[in-house]
Amino acid sequence: MRSCFLTRLALISTLLFAPALQAMDDVPNSQDSAPRNVILIIGDGMDDQQVTIARNYLHGARGQFTLDTMPERGAMQILAVEDSTDNTPVYVSDSANTATSMATGVVTSRGRIATTAGDDQDIPTIGELARDAGYRVGLVTTSSVTDATPASFIAHVALRFCESPATMIDIEYSGIPLGDCSQDLKANGGPGSISEQLATSGLHVILGGGARHFEPPTEAGNMSVLELAVDNGFTALLDGSDLATASPDARLLGLFAPSHLPVRMRGENGREAESPEPSLLNEVHPYLGEVDLPAVMNCEANPEYGETPSLKALTQTALRNLDHENARGFFLMIESASIDKEAHERKPCGSIGEMGQLDEALEAALAYADAQGNTLVLVTADHAQAAQITPNGSLFSAYPIPIFSPGKIARIRTPEGAIMVVNFATNNFPYAEHTGGQVPIYGNAVAADILPTYLLQPDLFTLMRDFLEIPAQ
Amino acid sequence: MRSCFLTRLALISTLLFAPALQAMDDVPNSQDSAPRNVILIIGDGMDDQQVTIARNYLHGARGQFTLDTMPERGAMQILAVEDSTDNTPVYVSDSANTATSMATGVVTSRGRIATTAGDDQDIPTIGELARDAGYRVGLVTTSSVTDATPASFIAHVALRFCESPATMIDIEYSGIPLGDCSQDLKANGGPGSISEQLATSGLHVILGGGARHFEPPTEAGNMSVLELAVDNGFTALLDGSDLATASPDARLLGLFAPSHLPVRMRGENGREAESPEPSLLNEVHPYLGEVDLPAVMNCEANPEYGETPSLKALTQTALRNLDHENARGFFLMIESASIDKEAHERKPCGSIGEMGQLDEALEAALAYADAQGNTLVLVTADHAQAAQITPNGSLFSAYPIPIFSPGKIARIRTPEGAIMVVNFATNNFPYAEHTGGQVPIYGNAVAADILPTYLLQPDLFTLMRDFLEIPAQ
């Protein structure tokens, strides 16, 4: 963060549109008296391949998700730029720049959280604008609440890894320097780490994982970040069983795992995609020898999931508290984060379970929207991911030579009695790459005259802001 | 083909609904007097990645295709089954079974042309039904007109390779047996090869490549297949320059290349995707050494394209002749075939050019539909394909180790001054595999109350049949 025009604009907007935080619920809607709500559901990495993989497994090839019943549908083009001010396009994004696109309408570079490419200006987010216009704001995720997607809707740092006061300077992973956020320190005139920004955000509901990012002392050092959040009016929930009993009047900060929430499903005995093993003769010449493919596997419940609250349960609690005695309305972002995270680790069963979680959360959101009215429900992905369904028997299997993926595959037995192969072959690194395809976007009936069949990702910001009748800055 | 219930049904439908061929244009529309037309445009292998690759190159990341302006949009789930009658799903399709789904409403096994899985029954196609209901029917493609996609709209054989009388028995490629269609020989009570079925199809317009499949003598042996077609009322066009001068009254069989039409674009000096070359040290351990990535390349005009008629020119001629003095209407299938064929060969510049061809043909179709009215324009893919946009700089490039695709990549310089990497890593074979994701489907305004946001591929048949007011069989 540096002092900048956009920050000043945000400040002016706060002065113009925001009453004191405690008076928020009294702000009348400028156009009519009914509350207006936006529910944005993000499937991280949920491209057409991921949707199909999960549908084939969970509902069968001829089955359907609740997602598939959405009456409005389009495609969204994902944009990123180099970390400079010359707008040179980058064709594959990460979750930080994509969430920034959706949250701010500004295309930035990979790794950035609501800050501009090159000159590192803070950009007002839909979370801030909605809050300042009197709406309640909620963020729900299966990742750490400090992770790139939720963070970009409210916080501003140069680098997504700056999740707590303990990870602001000289960030390393396995000894590899990953950059830092020195300029975002409060001491340097910045807004502090992501968790500190969340703690003082004035948001109404923040639910997910990431408790460990709230444990360190704040930069000021006089209390933990969690204590800072409580000081700022949040009720802290640290166990899923607290969800049901939490007061509907409370502003909630729920942190149900040290980092990301455990996922619901996994491969048999924890198996992931594995390399086909060609015979020695095949290594000599690709038309000779044989190949051992990974054994077929089932998906199974992940024993680590245990009592983790489901995304649906988090969604229902968020909706209850956002809705409670709220005459103005709300903005709620819900993320199924580990469709992507499991795909990075080449664990298709994990992604399948998290697609199921998204679909259940959507069901809860639609039930709310149908009952309440005036609620725009959008579902989309932030970017495409590595997984592809490839044939179990090659299209060229008439040729008597070993044909196999140069990457890693999982051969999954589906409940409908067939074998689905999922291929991960974007790189040779322990984590697969994102890919650059456009992604699906879905809307409920309220989106009928609002959602185009094709849009650029940053235009989603404008669409949501306009629905909430928040004036352009 | 075997004698079967479905064949008898088709025969009955012919008797019930079809006047003699020469009286076709006089059949009144059952519901109103205006002609009704369906234009189905198929981008073979045109999934979200292919659309994005081509858009990024041809129009820039923020640009758009005519395709992107279509007001209706959905996703279509692709289905295939094992070659048996027990309906066991297969999660990756080929162009034969997918075209059969769209043309007949029946899910079949890979390689089949409008015949059922397992028991090899002929299935009535939308081409036959429309023809028999008095509509004119046209097939336009950049492939051989005998290739799987166009063939499935009118012909019935057990195997897509049975394209001419010369390739009906013991079909081989490089000495590899690929099966045969003995049971489809006329001598065995079958309908003969694909080219013979096209020649006697009664279709109004057939335009594309594949002249060599019309050169062999017919199974009866008394003339070439081309002569058979002319005997059956077709005017043969063998040069693109004939398109403009052909009579609008004529029924056209245009064959503008021996096999598939040459594609419009190619990689620099014919380059395709290539393997990254790791250093010896990297072969010892993946965290060591270096990697040489393929040099960045431009796309360029394909010198073999020459005077090949464009898909748009074929489309315009087809529309002119289908429309001419036609009070009933028509069904027209238009295929940009080599989006897929070039992707199999890992030639992304080729696919990009053919996406451009599709978009131009769509422009011509929309111009016709806008002027004419009552014309349903649908655009879709038959199946997903191998190509993925992967990062030029890995998402994990902070790690000082060589990170690269295990498959083959093309690093393409785009006109907007950036590098787009296209990865092909579905297998180690000379031809890449299809993939199993759902595909996009688009409609013009006429599709507004017809096209759902999610459908199974065979339901497209029903949708088109219903629009043409052809009764269910």
Q: What is the pLDDT of residue B414?
A: 98
Interface check A405 vs B, CB under 8 A: yes
On the question of pLDDT at B301 being above 80, the answer is yes
Phi–psi pair at A201, nearest 5 degrees: -75, -20
Q: How close are the terminal C-alpha atoms of chain B, in Å?
A: 19
Residues B54-94: tens digit of each pLDDT: 999 999 999 999 999 999 999 999 999 999 999 999 999 99
For residue A220, the distance in angstroms to the closest alpha carbon of chain B comes to 30
Q: What is the pLDDT of residue B4?
A: 41
| Neighbouring C-alpha atoms within 13 Å toward the C-beta of A256 | 27
Interface check B288 vs A, CB under 8 A: no
Beta bridge partners of A335: A42, A141
Q: What is the mean pLDDT of chain A?
A: 93
Query: Is A59 annotated to bind ligand?
Result: no
On the question of pLDDT at A1 being above 70, the answer is no
Cα A101 to the center of its chain, rounded Å: 13
Residues A394-425: tens digit of each pLDDT: 999 999 999 999 999 999 999 999 999 999 99
Q: How many CB atoms lie within 10 A of CB B31?
A: 8
Are the C-beta atoms of B29 and B36 separated by less than 8 Å?
yes
**What residues have CB less than 8 Å from A290, skipping those under 6 apart?**
A278, A279, A281, A282, A402
Across the interface, whether the CB atoms of A79 and B62 are under 8 A apart is answered yes
Across the interface, whether the CB atoms of A52 and B440 are under 8 A apart is answered no
Q: What is the DSSP code string of B22-38?
A: GGGGGPPPSS-SS-EEE
Across the interface, whether the CB atoms of A453 and B72 are under 8 A apart is answered yes
Interface check A74 vs B, CB under 8 A: yes
Average pLDDT over residues B119-136: 98
Q: How many CB atoms lie within 10 A of CB A387?
A: 31
Interface check B89 vs A, CB under 8 A: yes
Report the chain B residue with the minimal C-alpha distance to residue A90.
B418
The three-state secondary structure class of B194 is helix
Dist. CA A161–CA A171, nearest whole Å? 8
Average pLDDT over residues B403-416: 98
On the question of pLDDT at A13 being above 50, the answer is no
Interface check B285 vs A, CB under 8 A: no
Report the chain B residue with the minimal C-alpha distance to residue A92.
B391
Average pLDDT over residues B161-189: 94
Which residue, A263, A273, A238, is CA-closest to A252? A238
Average pLDDT over residues A281-285: 92
Report the chain B residue with the minimal C-alpha distance to residue A444.
B453
For residue B334, the distance in angstroms to the closest alpha carbon of chain A comes to 22
Q: What is the pLDDT of residue A32?
A: 53
Q: Where does residue B105 fall: left (phi above 0), alpha (psi -120 to 50 degrees), or beta otherwise?
A: left
Q: What is the DSSP code string of B56-120?
A: HHHT-TT---SGGG-SEEEEEE--EE-SSSS--EESS--HHHHHHHHHHS----TT-BSB-TTT-
Q: What is the DSSP code string of B405-461?
A: -SSEEEEEEPTTS-EEEEEE-S-SSSSPPPB---EEEEE-GGGTTT--SEEETTHHH
Across the interface, whether the CB atoms of B428 and A434 are under 8 A apart is answered no
Band (B32; pLDDT cuts 50, 70, 90):
low
How many residue contacts between A and B have a Cβ separation below 8 Å?
255
Which residue, A258, A136, A253, is CA-closest to A199? A253
In the stretch 201-260 of chain A, residues with CB closer than 8 A to chain B read: none
Across the interface, whether the CB atoms of A427 and B440 are under 8 A apart is answered no
CA dihedral B344, B345, B349, B350 (to 10 degrees): -80
Average pLDDT over residues A124-146: 98
Q: What is the mean pLDDT of chain B?
A: 93
Chain A residues near residue B396 by CB distance under 8 angstroms: 427, 429, 431, 433
Chain B residues near residue A71 by CB distance under 8 angstroms: 453
Interface check A376 vs B, CB under 8 A: no
For residue B391, the distance in angstroms to the closest alpha carbon of chain A comes to 5
Q: How close are the terminal C-alpha atoms of chain A, in Å?
A: 19
Bigger pLDDT: A49 or B400?
A: A49
CA dihedral B277, B279, B285, B289 (to 10 degrees): -120
Cα B428 to the center of its chain, rounded Å: 25
On the question of pLDDT at A19 being above 60, the answer is no
Interface check A443 vs B, CB under 8 A: no
Report the chain B residue with the minimal C-alpha distance to residue A386.
B388
Residues A83-117: tens digit of each pLDDT: 999 999 999 999 999 999 999 999 999 999 999 99
Beta bridge partners of A77: A456
Cα A206 to the center of its chain, rounded Å: 13
For residue B145, the distance in angstroms to the closest alpha carbon of chain A comes to 21
* Nearest-CB residue to B52 (from A392, A425, A437): A437
Are the C-beta atoms of B333 and B139 separated by less than 8 Å?
yes
Interface check A396 vs B, CB under 8 A: yes
Chain B residues near residue A70 by CB distance under 8 angstroms: 453
In chain B, how long is the greatest CA-to-CA distance?
76
Across the interface, whether the CB atoms of B52 and A176 are under 8 A apart is answered no
Are the C-beta atoms of A153 and A202 separated by less than 8 Å?
no
Are the C-beta atoms of B454 and B23 separated by less than 8 Å?
no
On the question of pLDDT at A219 being above 70, the answer is yes
pTM more than 0.90: yes
Chain B residues near residue A176 by CB distance under 8 angstroms: 398-400
For chain A, which domains are there?
A: 5-264+302-386+426-467 (3.40.720.10)
Interface check A5 vs B, CB under 8 A: no
Are the C-beta atoms of B430 and B41 separated by less than 8 Å?
no
Query: Is B340 annotated to bind ligand?
Result: yes
Across the interface, whether the CB atoms of A72 and B435 are under 8 A apart is answered no
Interface check A71 vs B, CB under 8 A: yes
Chain A residues near residue B451 by CB distance under 8 angstroms: none
Q: How many CB atoms lie within 10 A of CB B187?
A: 10
Chain A residues near residue B58 by CB distance under 8 angstroms: none
For residue A354, the distance in angstroms to the closest alpha carbon of chain B comes to 18
Band (A473; pLDDT cuts 50, 70, 90):
confident
Residues A168-188: tens digit of each pLDDT: 999 998 889 999 899 999 999
On the question of pLDDT at B458 being above 90, the answer is yes
Query: Is A204 annotated to bind ligand?
Result: no
For residue A99, the distance in angstroms to the closest alpha carbon of chain B comes to 16
In the stretch 445-464 of chain A, residues with CB closer than 8 A to chain B read: 453-454, 456
Answer yes or no: A95 catalytic. Answer: yes
Sign of the four-CA dihedral A227, A229, A230, A235:
negative
Interface check B418 vs A, CB under 8 A: yes
Band (B206; pLDDT cuts 50, 70, 90):
very high
Query: Is A47 annotated to bind ligand?
Result: no
Interface check A57 vs B, CB under 8 A: no
**What residues have CB less than 8 Å from A407, skipping those under 6 apart?**
A273, A275, A423, A424, A425, A426, B406, B407, B425
> Percentage of chain B with pLDDT > 90?
90
Q: Where are the alpha helices (DSSP H) in B105-235?
A: 126-132, 148-151, 194-199, 225-231
Across the interface, whether the CB atoms of B391 and A437 are under 8 A apart is answered no
Q: What is the pLDDT of residue B473?
A: 80
Chain B residues near residue A453 by CB distance under 8 angstroms: 68, 70-73, 442
Question: Which position among B13, B93, B95, B310 bears the catalytic label?
Answer: B95
Residues B150-171: tens digit of each pLDDT: 999 999 999 999 999 999 999 9
Report the chain B residue with the minimal C-alpha distance to residue A278.
B428
Interface check B431 vs A, CB under 8 A: yes
On the question of pLDDT at A6 being above 80, the answer is no
Question: Which position among A30, A33, A93, A95 bears the catalytic label?
Answer: A95
Across the interface, whether the CB atoms of A426 and B388 are under 8 A apart is answered yes
Q: What is the pLDDT of residue B448?
A: 96
For residue A421, the distance in angstroms to the closest alpha carbon of chain B comes to 8
Interface check B69 vs A, CB under 8 A: yes
Are the C-beta atoms of A196 and A154 separated by less than 8 Å?
no
Q: Compute the C-alpha angle B31/B34/B38, nearest 5°.
A: 90
